[in-house]
Amino acid sequence: MTTVSIRAPGISPPATTKARRRIRTRLPAAFALLPTALVVLVVYIGCMLWTVRLSFTSSTLLPKLDWVGLAQYSRLFANDRFLTSAENIVIFGALFISGCLILGFLLAVFIDQNVRGEGIFRTLFLYPYAMSFVVTGVAWQWFLNPGLGLQKLVRDMGFESFTFDWLVNQDMAIYTIVIAGLWHGSGLTMAILLAGLRGVDEDLWKAARVDGIPTWRVYTSIVLPLLRPMVVTATVLLATGVVKLYELVVAMTLGGPGIATEVPAKFVMDHLFERNNIALGTAAATIMLIAVVSVLAPWVYARYVRPQGRHA
């Protein structure tokens, strides 16, 4: 005798049936993402943990698994070259990020005025970002070289007393890196903020004109708060470029004159591959990792964790 189970209309299947159906639906996607997850775990997280572990050893040319505690960190913070690199990255980061945000916003406002040849201007402003930092560094190294570039050009025009030797001046060399960085990164900020400006409701502008509010006040008090997500996105992308700053410095100054433009990434690379001091190099890399996490953690909390807690 065959038993036939009849389910009344409107009654949902048991929870176990739903769970099995969800598993069958998600299983192919899970298998497809498994290689990527393994790469993230092994290559990224695994290498970070390995780097941190090596910073507590006495490794020189080859890795060792001994334990010396915080000895490498004590050496690191007593190293003038590392302290100079930390100071330089703070100067570069502050000027680069703030400069790109200000200049990018001004360029976005300019293009948003429905100027003629808008596409040409967008391409010109964004084109430098398409270049690598190496190409940017070499171009600006030629342009700022006192014997080849701007200084020589102006002197050849008859201004014999003109001097612009920042590239070979220890006190000013870091600012030449900032100039090249601004030229490279402002276009990206312009593109992000321009997309935000195009999304501002036209009724806001009409209401502001009716109330007689000055244009600059509309931008500072109304438009900029609306662009906050775009500003945060641009800031995070620019901060990523600050942390990994290496090619631009190598192409322009090789860290000189002296150690005037030394940056942490170059300090790490030099100690890992030239000075054969793996432990000190990984200690510097660990400090960079801690700095990045310290900066990003508040943003991640405000962007993802806090909204979920509010909804809960």
Q: How confident is the model at residue 21 (pLDDT cuts 50, 70, 90)?
A: confident
Neighbouring CB atoms inside 10 A of 287's CB total 18
Kindly tell me if the per-residue pLDDT of 299 is higher than 80: no
In terms of pTM, does the model score above 0.85?
Answer: no
Task: Domains for the chain: give ranges and CATH numbers.
Answer: 75-306 (1.10.3720.10)
Q: How confident is the model at residue 310 (pLDDT cuts 50, 70, 90)?
A: low
Kindly tell me if the per-residue pLDDT of 9 is higher than 90: no
Neighbouring CB atoms inside 10 A of 114's CB total 6
Kindly tell me if the per-residue pLDDT of 256 is higher than 90: no
Cβ contact 185:238 at 8 Å: yes
Which of 153, 174, 175 is CA-nearest to residue 162?
153
CA 32, 37, 43, 44: dihedral to nearest 10 degrees? 140
277: DSSP letter: -
pLDDT at 56: 95
Q: For 265-290, how does the pLDDT look when each residue is reduced to its tens digit (9 = 90+)?
A: 999 999 888 888 999 999 999 999 88
Give the angle 126-127-130 at the CA atoms, nearest 5°.
100
- Token duo for residue 165: 């030797």
Which of 3, 68, 99, 94 is CA-nearest to residue 295?
94
CA 31, 35, 41, 46: dihedral to nearest 10 degrees? 150
pLDDT, the chain, mean? 86
